[in-house]
Amino acid sequence: MTEKVYLRDSYARELDAKVTFAEGSNILLDRTVFYPTGGGQPCDTGIIKNGATEFKVVEVKKDGDNVVHVVEGDASSLKIGDSVKCVIDWDKRYMHMRLHTALHIIDGVVEKLYQGKITGGQIYDDRARMDFDVPGLDKNKMLEIINASQKIVDEGHPVTAKILGKEEALKNPSIARTAPGEELLSKLNTVRIIDIEGFDFQLDGGTHVAHTGEVGKLEMLKYENKGSHNKRVEITVK
């Protein structure tokens, strides 16, 4: 099992690790800072160093409890137990963190103002999108949501990750926003929560900033009406 350092420290940019498997372009380590694709958030990229040899990490994915680092070329020269240094592309990761927290804030505003549902979302390297099922939502209301979200950003709420047991989590199934709450929560022994202090509290496995002020200036790039139950917005942060 890979120790997933990114879950407890989103700001860790590099660390030392040991190789547990290396074959072809795939490397497994005992611990990692590389975030694997999941939950609408893209994977990290970067390098894995072994002495003077560097492997460029181009994809990171989950394999059960392990994290697989896919590199350019052949990593078979690495042996089990070899020491390596992991270094992520920090600018890309930090943008993902800012965008991910921005989406949580928008989600929270939508739930509180309109009792609406988030039906999908995706983070990219320079922007993010969210899909909504909100009765009567139009471009003007979406701009109001963005403005209300900006106020939360500017208020400077602390953002922290917490672990809850199943029993405690099941008392509040609304923390699972993108799937039926009790059905999802009943499958997990513990759940990771992102708490935007004094504002929002929801299930999440991604990386986030520590303070809403780090999100910056929200900007709506595009609004699309994709049907009566599907409105889409693209945003970025400056």
pLDDT tens, N- to C-terminus, the chain (238 residues): 999 999 999 999 999 999 999 999 999 999 999 999 998 999 999 999 999 999 999 999 999 999 999 999 999 999 999 999 999 999 999 999 999 999 999 999 998 888 888 889 999 999 999 999 988 899 999 999 999 999 999 999 999 999 888 677 666 767 776 655 455 666 667 889 999 999 999 989 999 999 999 999 999 999 999 888 899 999 999 9
User: What single-letter DSSP state applies at residue 144?
Assistant: H
Residue 173's pLDDT is 64
> What domains appear along the chain, each with residue ranges and CATH number?
3-88 (2.40.30.130), 93-237 (3.30.980.10)
Residue 116's pLDDT is 82
Measured CA to CA in angstroms, residue 182 lies from 76, 120, 174, 179, 188 at distances of 44, 19, 9, 9, 10
pTM of structure: 0.93
Answer yes or no: are the C-beta atoms of 86 and 17 closer than 8 Å.
Answer: yes
Q: Is 125 helix (H, G, I), strand (E, B) or coil?
A: coil
Residue 152's pLDDT is 98
- Report the alpha-carbon angle 59-64-67, nearest 5: 35
Listed in order, strand segments (DSSP E) in the chain are 3-4, 14-23, 26-29, 31-32, 46-50, 53-63, 66-71, 83-88, 117-123, 128-133, 159-165, 190-196, 200-203, 218-225, 231-237
- Comparing C-alpha atoms, which of 202, 200, 174, 160 is closest to residue 39? 202
Token pair in block for residue 148: 């209300």
Half-sphere exposure of 155 (CA within 13 A, CB side): 14
Residue 6's pLDDT is 97
